[in-house]
């Protein structure tokens, strides 16, 4: 239960704003990042709620899966300890709220909001006495590395897409599925999601996006699907890919952190119910697109 909760909970970060995966998808699919972030908010909350529901029911059926904290441990927590834990959790929430608040109200652009976020993190480190030259150096180094990685990923994806578009590959694929196989748009969409599931067993999200987006995004547009909604579906599939065998990123990360008595088989078994919950959420979002589209339409007036 613990390893499953940690892996499933950590995967929510790529769906709720500010999701890096949605930023990358928006740049490659040329969709507004702000709308993608809002589109991922309600599906992320829905999935989190379904995780909580499953955990509650499972622990109610098997109380030993989620035992209560012993009374001695609860009584040993002083008011100062509770206050310290509360403050430690409020600082990142305050930084996030300041960034998203300015972005949502239209006072800052996406890049300007990132600068506000970075400034807030620096001020928090300064207040806590941890803003050293070593921290600044390592932060700048890692930021530059990530920025360069994203630049080359986007450049490769756009170049790949331009070549395929110039060769007419997207139209050829559309003609094959629609004219020759005579599949409906929804049947083609389901086949896309199944192919993502299969690829996710062996590839990470950026690799899938670079390889498949130049083919699938134009096809989804031609079939009449909203690309904002389609980006949410892709992100949910990425969540599943992080937790599916044989090369799920979260699986190996959990193996590195878990105690020796927890085997790799235990870790693999722990994610099965949570993957099932993710797939149910994916089916709900596919059946009811307004769960993802209502909030961006409300904010941006579409």
pLDDT digits (tens, 9 = 90+) for 228-238: 999 999 888 88
Low-confidence ranges of the chain (pLDDT < 70): 73-74, 169-170, 302
Cα 176 from chain centroid (whole Å): 32
Rounded Cα–Cα distance for residues 232 and 45 (Å): 13
Rounded Cα–Cα distance for residues 123 and 129 (Å): 10
pLDDT at 302: 58
DSSP 8-class letter at 240? H
Q: How many CB atoms lie within 10 A of CB 258?
A: 17
The sign of the CA dihedral 38, 40, 46, 51 is negative
pLDDT at 1: 86
User: Is this prediction's pTM over 0.85?
Assistant: no
Rounded Cα–Cα distance for residues 282 and 243 (Å): 15
Rounded Cα–Cα distance for residues 16 and 14 (Å): 6
The sign of the CA dihedral 118, 119, 123, 126 is positive
For residue 17, CA distances in Å to 12, 27, 51, 284 come to 10, 15, 18, 20
Cβ distance 239 to 12 under 8 Å? yes
What number of CA atoms fall less than 13 Å from residue 155's CA on the CB side? 6
Rounded Cα–Cα distance for residues 87 and 92 (Å): 9
Cβ distance 26 to 234 under 8 Å? no
Cβ distance 183 to 134 under 8 Å? no
DSSP 8-class letter at 178? I
């Amino acid at each position: 239960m613990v390893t499953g909760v940690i892996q499933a909970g950590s995967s929510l970060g790529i769906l709720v704003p500010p999701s890096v995966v949605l930023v990358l998808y928006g740049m490659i699919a040329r969709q507004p990042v702000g709308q993608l972030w809002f589109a991922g908010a309600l599906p992320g909350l829905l999935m989190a709620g379904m995780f909580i529901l499953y955990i509650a029911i499972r622990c109610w059926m098997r109380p030993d899966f989620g035992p209560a904290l012993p009374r001695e441990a609860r009584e040993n927590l002083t008011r100062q300890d509770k206050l310290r834990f509360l403050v430690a959790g409020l600082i990142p929430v305050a930084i996030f709220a300041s960034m998203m608040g300015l972005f949502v109200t239209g006072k800052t652009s996406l890049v300007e909001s990132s600068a506000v976020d970075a400034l807030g993190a620096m001020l928090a480190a300064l207040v806590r006495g941890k803003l050293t030259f070593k921290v600044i150096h390592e932060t700048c180094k890692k930021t530059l590395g990530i920025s360069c990685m994203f630049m080359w990923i986007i450049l490769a994806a756009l170049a790949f897409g331009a070549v395929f578009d110039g060769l007419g590959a997207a139209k050829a694929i559309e003609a094959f599925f629609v004219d020759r196989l005579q599949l409906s748009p929804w049947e083609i969409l389901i086949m896309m999601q199944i192919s993502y599931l299969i690829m996710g067993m062996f590839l990470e999200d950026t690799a899938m996006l670079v390889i498949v987006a130049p083919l699938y995004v134009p096809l989804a547009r031609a079939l009449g699907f909203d690309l904002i909604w389609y980006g949410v579906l892709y992100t949910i599939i990425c969540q599943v890919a992080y937790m599916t065998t044989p090369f799920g990123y979260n699986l190996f990360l959990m193996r590195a952190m878990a105690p020796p008595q927890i085997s790799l088989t235990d870790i693999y078994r722990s994610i099965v119910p949570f993957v099932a919950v993710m797939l149910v959420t994916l089916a709900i979002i596919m059946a009811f697109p307004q769960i993802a589209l209502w909030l961006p339409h409300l904010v941006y007036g579409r």
